[in-house]
Amino acid sequence: MFGSIPISDTCNFALVIGGARSGKSVIAETLVKQAGSRRRYIATAEAWDDEMRQRIADHRQQRGENWLTVEAPLDLSGALAEAQPGEVVLVDCLTLWLTNHFLAESDLAAETDRLMAALKACAAPVVLVTNEVGLSIVPENALARRFRDAQGRLNQRVAASAGLVVGVMAGLPFALKGKLPEGLA
């Protein structure tokens, strides 16, 4: 357990998963704030257009002050390696990180292996945010289906190793694995 986040003794990371605009980032930020440590925010988004720039600005405003922000659209493993003891890290989000690698035609299996190794070796506890994309209709094109499948595989792998997995629906958190901390339940 770190701060008030119940993560197992053998794992130093938690996963927060939900649909688009489900409230998962707010729940993840709350987990990190409850830990009472220095906060490191690893951002994976890239601002390709005005709408995305606005989303990024809205997230920054929502978070408020007291966050060290690190941009890591592709090298999430490197950014995790820079985390320091005494910090709590928030990664927002794995879906955009995967999208960036998908578009770069990276070896997704190798990048996922690197991520899992970095999470295990990270000097600080980590809260990761990801989208659940498999509860919707089957995408109509092959590219979208490949992405949905890759996201599902990534989510399964991270969730299997996480000490705490929190699902979020309509802004309400529920424990999928582990126990929600008192301030969140």
Q: What is the pTM of this model?
A: 0.92
Residue 17 is predicted with a pLDDT of 98
How many CB atoms are closer than 10 A to CB 150? 18
State the Cα angle at 70 between 176 and 170, rounded to 5°: 30
CATH number for the domain harbouring residue 71 = 3.40.50.300
Residue 182 is predicted with a pLDDT of 82
CB 131 within 8 A of CB 95: yes
In a domain, 147, yes or no: yes
In a domain, 177, yes or no: no
Residue 59 designated active-site: yes
The answer to whether residue 139 scores a pLDDT higher than 90 is no
Rounded mean pLDDT, 141-145: 93
CA 152/CA 135 separation, integer angstroms? 10
CA nearest neighbour of 165 among 24, 28, 16, 8: 16
In a domain, 150, yes or no: yes
CA nearest neighbour of 59 among 71, 48, 43: 43
Per annotation, catalytic residue among 59, 153, 157, 177: 59
